[in-house]
Every structure is written in structure tokens, then in C-alpha cells.
Structure 1
């Protein structure tokens, strides 16, 4: 198993030879023996590293959700190159940032969920590369939750934001390289795109079958277990409920002070949600929502990830909470990710239909049926850009 970073230095150096290179990376941009991409780029004599760019959470991964990083730029004291934030005053490399860059390289691990902002940083950087007339290279990495299963509604364009610019479902089952190929053509970005593909990865593989090292891609994505539940449980960011930030198991743990965990577990038990056990518990977040307050809630213990569906699980949880506590406010208010005029839950869901369905206690079969036409269209569009077998998935 080799990532795009692992293959770059052996098979693809001609793409950057004797050129000035800008690198978009995060703390998780490491090779198979934990060497960071920035160090490898800086040490390579075939080209010159001239700029580093960091996505949300900072190039060191130190900032929490929705925290704006420092504005402007700094200089990496060890490598001696400028470092720019792409989650500050701008989310896209500016012409000034790219003045000393001949080629822009993207090596940021993704987690397979539409609202994870790194893929949108990639899309904006591709647009900037096109505008400046420079090539854009994606060093591909596995989708950690596999390349087969697709979940959730497809984003509607009227609800585009930095947690969803283009029409993807919540769980898209594509790699960053495949997404770049699709964005470049279907969204008419039209940059000079090169994808350095993975070697030895197939679509059914989850991250823990690759033997690659897991490094936290962001502060609240500590483990593959987190990524497993994230495609559905991220919906709770748009509610007043704690999604477990400020605990040691974000997104696996959720709740609020007004919830009786045993009542909630009993309300969900008849559904026999596949692949997961919902355990009643209490917790006290150390930051974020309900800091220092005792919350009742549940922890998701995924027992069979082949049958577990995070999106449906989250929807059923929200429906049950609405039934049990109809007088409690559930939905957060704007803003969310700089969207000031829309309900945050709808921005995350990518459309307002899901919130209305939860309020109406609609059956899951009806919710899924409403999403089916757009999902079918997405699967048709997606097929042309898949790089790894089985391509018919």
C-alpha cells in the first residue's frame, strides 16, 4: 500500500523538477514511516519548496472548530519558507501567495464526509491554480471509511457553503484524487490537474486494513472510530445538543442536560438500528457546548461497520429526541461557517428538507425515498472519475 506521497518521489518527480513548489498540507500529511510531507519536500534537491499552506485547524492542527487562524502569513522557522493560512482572511490562495510558486501540490488526508472542509480547500486552490496558470497536483490517499458505501442527501446548490460547495452526498465514498478529477470537469474548474494515484488500494478497504499510520487529521477526529460515525453525527453540530466536543470521544458521544439517557435508549431500541449499540451514559464537556455541565446521552458503539449507517442512525436519534422533548429547542441559530442567513442544520444537511422531516417525525423510508433521485444521479456522475477497483461500486 503506497499513498500518493509515497509514490511522488519515486515515480512523479518530473512533474516538479527544477520548479518552485507550494504545498498544501496538514499534520496528517505523513508517509508510511511518519515523515511529514513538508520535511520531505524541503529536503528534495530536484525542486525548491517555496510556500506552505494550511487548511482549517491550522497547518499544525492546533485550532478547534470554527476558530479563525492568524491572518496574513508567517515564516516556518525550521524550513525557512512562508506559511499561509487558508482558513483566515481568505480561504483561497491569493496571487500574492502564489507569486513564488510554479506548481501547487495538495496532500491533505480526508475523512470521506462532505462537510469536512479539506476537500473544499482543495477545490478553491484548484480554482486559484487555474487563474494563475500553474499546474495542480493531488497526492492521493485512501478514503478512510472505504470507497463503496454512500449515505445522506445530495447537497442542493442553493445551500452551498464551505461545508459543501458542490452536490455531494454526506458520505461520498471517493478519494481526494477522484474528487479533484470530478470537480475539475463537472464544475468547470479546468486547471492543469495531475493525480498521483494510490498503489495497492481497492474500494472495499477501510483505513485499518491499509497498514498506513493514522495521524489525527483534525483535533476532534482522533480515531477511525470517529470517522466511522461522523457522516451522520456531524448533523448534531447544527443542533443545541453536544456532539461530544470537549470529551475524549467526539461524535461517538452526544447529549444534553435535559436528556434522560435511559429514556432515549428505550425510545430507539425498537428500531434495532443495524451495526450499532447505543449505550446510555452521562458526561461533562470540558469545552464547547454545555462546558462543565452534566449531560445525559448515549455513546455509539459500532459493532458491524458493514451494516452500520451513521446518517440514518443520527436522523433516528434526532427524531426520538424531538418526540421525547418537544418543548426543548433543538436547532442552533445562525451563523455557521460564515453563513449568516440560513439555519445551521440546513447548511450541514445541504437542504432544508431533512429538518422538516425530523419535525414531522417522518418515516425513514420516506426520507430515503425523497433522496434517491439525486443519489442515483450522483452515482452516475461519480462513475466516470473513479480510479480504483471495483469502479462499478
Structure 2
């Protein structure tokens, strides 16, 4: 399998949002959201698309918003819409009842998805249907027609079964996606035959009653009629309290594809069960693994993506799929109903209308799209890092394997659990070795770090910043996979990326697959700034010809290194979910963990690619103080003079003030230093590598004997840039000279980007 295919396959898996419970899915401003919903519904009623609607928005814990608008009934007399109005749910029956019932039977070992339908209904094999499986019915790839012949008059479930047996595929199973009511008519019969219960009794016993869905059922009783929204007119008569779908109607109101009536509040209980991994309160309806299996995406011929029964991205989604994004799923109904669930945001949207009443000309699609966009925009989706996504998959790629993990204190999931502990405790995964980069397993060490043993897991730790910086061949022996989970800083000379590259090289030589669990670039993955590293200056602080700010995540860097440096490792990047590359780390909902001893905040990480450029020379950059990279100084600097020179440069996004400080460690430990304090005023406009050049130019001009410009070459990485500083070229002109190299790098970089 190619690198591209492996990477994008894992991207597809990562986008599932399955079984993941975000810890901090912030609730939106409900007043603003309520206003947006109210405006949309009223405008759609004014446009004549719907007579009224019930809209409900909720999360795992309950209902957050519910409203009712317009008329429940237009004739024979008018009645206002109320929140407890009962609707013909139409094709929501497919997922609410039939899919759920099939998956419950799968859990009990009574149905197998890959089995032919004829195993459970032997006569079904007639007329070329022997190869059709249960899964093909659920994914609408059976090859059967969309619906039974409506021109023929028939009545009763027995006649419906005879018609189903007479059906012949119009295309081979698996060849194409064709949304088909026949598929779910057949599945309803499978439920009846396997369970021994008619579908309506099965649903009442195993779904509705356990979930407390007291206003949901097939064939609603006459006493419910005042609360039921009429659907349409058939043969000159108002269809009111009887199912609108013709096939379900002729079957007496009970069918696998349509027939259920219910309320928004009852649907909310069902949606909460899905979001809570198959449970509601103390009742478990499905296993969490079954929910995962049920809604995971199947990319079907033609590009449509469906779950088992559930819609994910298709023309039937009405724009809700694109509004909520790739982790979401749901279903719509012909009468104007819809349920959409977004596990990433931890919310669901229920829209119930009777769009065929009173004249059969209504259209619920614009309302679905508008409300989905409003809810999705109001909810800030949580960022799930690679370890969260991998855990949601049940660590599937690692099952049965001996695994090494390159990590440190930053390798944690959303709840703060160490990746090392998660892998060590995962059934079927054998964590055999831990690898640690510079600063050691806890990220609190300077200088060389010895190997050791992890106290929590008992797993040996091999330091890659000790006697060797590369894993030796003997360390690779017996491994089946290497996992990398570590937080990068976004600067070319931060050594974690080089350590990752060395691990990739060792893994390629040993033919061991590598899985990189991605994390954010803390200073955004959009800014690409600074000089590109000279090709002959590659080292431990510069593995590849990157600019100082490369604008990539560690997973994207892994892809770039592997492909462009011809490493050839069997690499899989497990991407994040809910991440936008223009976010700063503190714009995610992730908890900041110092990636190394002197990067203690996003502010310091912002300054690091600039201030660190000069620390090879004889200045302190604040190591050994409370604010590393926020101060620059030395015993021989005149702080006010340097501040005046730099402030006069009017560098966008930064201000300077005189400062005095005494480092307790590192350069000039115990000696009072004068210099400047740097205050970021606009981090989005700050070009931090340009800041570094401005610092170098000012210090070289003021203190040419003390500030040794050549000592900055290792981190600046560009001899042309250093020589331009020496020659007195204006720093802005120097930065303009980087443009051609940056453009070439951006073109190379584009091939490896994963996020919007």
C-alpha cells in the first residue's frame, strides 16, 4: 500500500468521531443560536416551504433548546404546532428501528452482517438474490430497485413478502449505491424471522420501552390523533394518523423502511443513547463497539459515504453532512423529518416538519441546511489529537503487535492519560519499549539523559539524547510497530522533529511500520517564515531544508521527511480531528504542557523561532529566568540603548522595553544582565524570524566585538542571511530575499498538508 493511500486511509478512520467523548465540548451561546433558529424557521414558513416545525438541539446530558412554530394542522381546522406534536417519521424508521434491531441481533450472534440474507430467509435467494448480504442491504449496495412497483395494487404483509421474493437485482451487489426502501423492507422481515417477533412488537419491547420513548410507535392509537401532524392527501382524503409511505400503508403501517410515529423529545432520548456509547441512564441498548461499527464510514461506488443504515455524506443528507463535517451522521425522512448527530461536538439536531401538508408542495431541505449550519457554527468542536483518535479506534492498527513508543510528558490524551499508559493497558497491544527525546521522559532535563525504566509501566526507556541519538538495530529487533506521540514547537531547530526522523530511518531499515499520532503546531500551521536551511548545514538542529517557521504539524513533517528525504518507512499518520491549521494552541481546548523546560507558554513558543536564533552567540535569552525567550540581555549590554534601537525599528507585533535580570542557570548564571523585555502585541502579524534578524542586526551594530555573528549561523541556518546582516543590509530587505526559497518550500509542503 502506498504512503498516500495509507495516510488517507487513516485520515478516513480518524474522521469517524466514533466512541470519542470530548471532555470539553463547549456549549454555544444558546440565546444567539435560538435567535438564528427562530429566524430560519419563520423565513421558511413565510416562503411556503413548511406549515410549521419542531426543532430540538441537545447534547449527551439532555435537551438544550426546543421550539415549536406555525401550524400543526391547516385543515379541516387549524391547530397550532406544539413541542409534543407527533410526526410521521418516515425513513427515520430505517435507523430508529430496523438498523438498531439488526445490530442488536448481530451483538447476540443471531445475525452476521457478511452472511447472505438467504441464511435467514431461504426463499429470498430466488431470482438472482443469493449473493446479497445483510451488509449490502444496510449500505444500499444490494443492487435491488428503489421501491416496490406502485402501479400494482396489493395489500397486506404477506403480499409484500411475495413481491420482495419476486424482485431481481437490477445491478450486481456492490456495484453501485442505490438508496432503496426495498432493502429495509427485507431487513424488517429478517428481524421478524430471526427474533420471532413482528417488527412493531420487537421495536416496542427492545427499543422504545427501554429508552422511555413513550410517544413513539408504529400504528398510533386513535387517542393520539389530536397531537399528530397530518401528512398529505391521498384519494381526496387527509392522511392523518396513518403512515404516508405507500408500501408501509399497504402493509398495515408496519414496515422496515417507514411507519414509525414519534416526537422530538423521544428522538432526543435515542440520540443521547447514541452519543453515550449505546446507553441511556442505566439501560444499555447497544455496545459502544457496535455503535462504532454501525456508523463508521463506508465509501461506496460513486463516492457516497454511508454507515450501516445511517447516512454520512450523500445527496439525501440535505447539507447537514457538510455543515457538521466528516465525523457526523444522521438520516432524513420524506415527510420532512431529520435527525443528525455530531459526536465531535457532542450534540444532535432534530427537525420535524410535515412538509407535504397541506398541498404536497413543501420542501424541508432549505431548513435542514440552514439549521445545521447554525448549530454547527455555534458549537466549537473539540480538538482530538492522534492518540484520542487511535483510542477511539480501539487501537486497531496495533492489535497483536509489539510496540515501541517515542514520547515524553506531552504524550497524553484529552483527559490527561499518558499515551504510554493507554498503550500498556490496551488489550492486544504489547508495549515493549519507550523511546525518549531531548529533555528526557518528563521533559525536565537539560544535557544528556540516561536510559532507564518507566516506573508506571515497568517498560524500559531508551534515551535518544544520551550515548546515541538514533535507535540501534538491536532496539528494533522483535518490534512490529513504532508509535510517535510528542508535541513539537513549530520551529525548524526544535530537535523532536529530528529525533522522529532518525526513528523513521531506523524503522525503514528494520522494516517496522511507524504510526505518528499528530498534535497541533502551537504557533499555527499556517505561518511559513524565515530563511530556509542551507543544504550543507543539516544537523541535529536542522534535519531538512526547512524555513525557521515551517507551518506544519509533526505528522505532516513526518510525511514530508519520509517522502522528500527518501526514507521509505511504512508510515501512517493518524491525523487530529476538529483541528484547523490557523489555530494557535490556546485557541484549541487542549491543555498546555511544557514541551521542554524553557517553553512554558504559547507566548514563549511564539517568540522562540525569533529569539532563539541569536542564542548561539554571547547573550542570554532568559534561560534560567521565569520568562525564557521574553528577555534578551548580557552583562555588557546597555538595556535602554538597545531598547531604543529596537523600538525605533517599529517591528510589527512586538514592543521592547529596558530590562534587568539575573539568570539562575545557563549562560551568565548568577550575573546581572541588562537588555530588553519583549512584549508581543499582535502575534498574527509578528514575523518571528525577522525579529531574530532584527535582534542580531542591532546587537552586531552596537556590540561587534562582543556579539559574535558567526555563532548564530547554526540556528539561522543561512550563510547568505548572516552575511547580509554583517554587511548592514536592512533586515526587512533580508527578509524579502527569502521569498523565492519560501515559495519553493510552500509548493513542496503543500503535498503533505492534512488540515483545512
Residue in 2 aligned with 1:212?
Answer: 590
Distance in 2 between residues matched to 1:327 and 1:92, nearest whole Å: 38
The equivalent residue for 1:306 is: 684
Map Cα deviations across residues 55-82 of structure 1 (whole Å, 9 max, x no partner): 0011121212xx1112xx4232331211
Quick check: 1:50–1:100 contact (8 Å CA) kept in 2? Answer: no
Residue 128 of structure 1: aligned partner:
506
Match of 1:334 in 2: none
Give 1:240-251 correspondences, 5 Å limit.
240-251=618-629
Q: Distance in 2 between matches of 1:325 and 1:83?
A: 45
Within 2, Cα distance between the matches of 1:381 and 1:387?
Answer: 14
Conserved in 2, the CA contact under 8 Å of 1:24 and 1:107?
A: yes
Q: Which SS does the other structure have where 1:59 is aligned?
A: coil
1:114-263 → structure 2 map (5 Å cutoff) = 114-263=492-641
CA drift at 1:12: 6.3
By how many angstroms is 1:366 displaced? 2.7
- Cα 1:344–1:41, aligned 2, differ >3 Å: closer, same or farther? farther
Partner residue, 1:55: 437
1:34 to partner: Cα distance: 1.2
Cα displacement string for residues 125-174 of structure 1 (whole angstroms, at most 9, x for unaligned residues): 00111111110000000111111111110111200000001110000010
Give the distance between the partners of 2:393 and 2:523, measured in 1 at CA: 27
C-alpha contact (below 8 Å) 2:699/2:707 kept by paired residues? no
Offset at residue 388 of structure 1 (A) = 0.5
**CA positional deviation for 1:107:** 0.3
Equivalent residue for 2:455, pick from 67, 70, 77? 77
Call closer, same or farther: CA 1:272–1:28 in 2, change over 3 Å.
Answer: same
More helix by share: 2
**713, 736, 753: which one aligns with 1:369:** 736
Q: Residue 100 of structure 1: CA displacement?
A: 3.4
Q: 1:96 aligned to 2:478?
A: no
Alignment match, 1:41:
423
SS of residue matched to 2:434: strand
The range that moved more, 314-323 or 170-179, is 314-323
What is the aligned partner in structure 1 of residue 288 from structure 2? none
- Which structure 1 segments of 5+ residues have no match? 332-342
Shift of 1:344: 4.2
* 1:350 equivalent among 690, 694, 717: 717
2:681 and 2:390 map into 1 onto residues whose CA distance is 37
Secondary structure at 1:296's aligned position in 2?
strand
Tell me how far apart the structure 1 counterparts of residues 537 and 724 of structure 2 sit (CA, whole Å): 17
* Structure 2 segments unaligned to the other structure (5+ residues): 1-382
Which stretch has the larger CA shift, 118-127 or 258-267? 258-267
Q: C-alpha separation between the residues in 2 aligned to 1:32 and 1:362?
A: 47
8 Å Cα contact 2:579/2:755 also seen in 1: yes
Note the aligned Cα RMSD (angstroms).
Answer: 1.3
Which residue, 381, 396, 406 being the options, matches 1:14?
396
Q: Distance in 2 between matches of 1:111 and 1:312?
A: 18
Q: Is the Cα contact below 8 Å between 1:160 and 1:347 reproduced in 2?
A: no
Identify the match of residue 750 of structure 2 among 366, 377, 383: 383
Aligned-partner Cα distance in 2 for 1:325–1:125: 42
Compute the displacement of 1:288 (Å). Answer: 0.9
Which segment drifts farther, 300-309 or 353-362? 353-362
Kindly state the Cα deviation for residue 264 of structure 1 after the two structures are TM-superposed.
0.8
Greater Rg, structure 1 or structure 2?
2
- Is the Cα–Cα contact under 8 Å of residues 647 and 655 in structure 2 kept in the other structure? no
Q: Take 1:90 and 1:326, find their aligned partners in 2: how far apart are those partners?
A: 37
SS at match of 2:487: coil
| 1:193, distance to aligned residue in structure 2 (A) | 0.6
Question: Retained in 2: the 8 A contact 1:144–1:207?
Answer: yes
